[in-house]
Amino acid sequence: MALERREFLTRAGALAAVGALGAFDCGRAYADISASQPAAADTLPDWEAVRAQFRLSPDRIHMSTMLLSSHPKAVREAIETHRDGLDANPVEYLEQNNSRLIRDARDAAGRYLGISGSNIALTDSTTMGVGLVYNGLRLNPDHEILTTEQDYYVTHEALRQASRRTGATVKKIQLYEEIGNVTEDELVQRVAEAISPSTRVLAVTWVHSSTGLKLPIRLIAEALEEVNRDRDEASRVLFCVDGVHAFGCEDVGFDDLGCDFLMAGCHKWLFGPRGTGMIAGTLRGWASVTPSIPSFIDGGSWDAWMYGKDLESPTTADRMTPGGFKAFEHQWALPEAFGFHEHIGRPAVAERTRELAGMLKEGLAEISRVVLRTPRSGSLSAGIVSFDIDGLEAPAVVRMLRDRGIVASVAPYLTAHVRLTPSIRNTSEEIDVALREIRGIVS
């Protein structure tokens, strides 16, 4: 049952939050956050102004960024503009705008990750990107794909399908015994030790959606580089990462990661249009996969079809971008989402997310009966905060929190935890309210 705004605030004893929640006034001027003007590096972002870009209902505390984005004003307006254009004249608006806007979207994603837009494929979601990459890999029954028991359904299921199709074996390893005392070194060592002569693919998730554990992707890439140094091109291990819960809240570029593929939805931490995602890849990565869905933006594929040519050139990100007509107004609004982050600054977004998640973890760690699942260290965690309450099932805790106006979620894993995911849309007052409500549940 949703609480009335007044009742919610009174019950939560959150007088301090009144001012912050008032910032949901959607009439607030947007002029100060524009895609074209990055914030000065030495000024702190105005988090109230950032928060005011969203039309989230003020009677809830929304800590569910990891599931589905609410569109900030610039994204909403871009979608509306394109929707109006398509509704008025679908064919000519499409013909006049599609090539440019798709290129802009890829360039914006590339700029955000520090690579060329030509190495970005656009997808509808993380799931689509993961499926396309793993099922596009050229594997055979002599090959092994290495992944972890801690990975998500999307990775496991895509790998199961790839294995059925190609005959390659999927090997799953335990990344740790006890998350409470896991270290970066242990994580890297476990992965490195599991690589065998037949391993061709390493498939992991950057930030786990069950526990919030963040893997040291760069360190794993370095360990892999050691292995690959002694291998010929055909035997190299490709490094593929589901990065959705870091993309939009960690201050890391694609080259800093050192992986071959990064797949992520743009409709979670990035606050991009719902139904959008991307794959960033290296030239080596693209050359290692075969597309499953015909591309509409790859000239070579069209020519091959029209003139009966062979497609001998290596696969590219253009060719890996699935074609078909889409909710174009959403894909075309991607530059505004990246612009929103660029304006605030990738480092500031990451720092703010870490700050709020840190406050939440500190507070949770002090509540009796609460068992924090996410590591406290910033090097092993990002914005997801997972926990359990002794004696209560995770879904029951989520229901209690929702009854108290706090939108938490349950991780859809066999072992379920409660998740709260503070982001740049939240305030420290909201963290206090969430903690107070959790104390109320355990008392």
Which residue ranges make up the site for ligand PLP (CB under 6 A)? 66-67, 125-127, 152, 154, 205, 209, 242, 244-245, 265, 277
Q: Is 16 exposed, middle or buried (0-12, 13-18, 19+ CB in 10 A)?
A: middle
Nearer to ligand PLP, 201 or 348 (CB): 201
Nearer to ligand PLP, 123 or 427 (CB): 123
- The Cα–Cα gap between 176 and 74 comes to 42
Q: In what side-by-side order are the strands of the sheet with 277-281?
A: 120-123, 277-281, 261-265, 238-242, 199-205, 144-148, 169-173
Nearer to ligand PLP, 73 or 245 (CB): 245
Nearer to ligand PLP, 47 or 239 (CB): 239
Nearer to ligand PLP, 296 or 413 (CB): 413
Smallest distance from the beta carbon of 125 to ligand PLP, in angstroms?
3
Residue, CB closest to ligand PLP: 265
Smallest distance from the beta carbon of 209 to ligand PLP, in angstroms?
3
Nearer to ligand PLP, 90 or 395 (CB): 395
Nearer to ligand PLP, 72 or 277 (CB): 277
Smallest distance from the beta carbon of 138 to ligand PLP, in angstroms?
24
Smallest distance from the beta carbon of 261 to ligand PLP, in angstroms?
14
Smallest distance from the beta carbon of 13 to ligand PLP, in angstroms?
32
- The Cα–Cα gap between 234 and 443 comes to 60
Smallest distance from the beta carbon of 243 to ligand PLP, in angstroms?
9
Smallest distance from the beta carbon of 161 to ligand PLP, in angstroms?
15
Smallest distance from the beta carbon of 441 to ligand PLP, in angstroms?
25
Two tokens, residue 58: 């003020």
Report the C-alpha dihedral over residues 159, 165, 168, 173, rounded to 10 degrees.
Answer: 20
Nearer to ligand PLP, 151 or 260 (CB): 151
- The Cα–Cα gap between 58 and 45 comes to 22
- Sequence letter at residue 152: Y
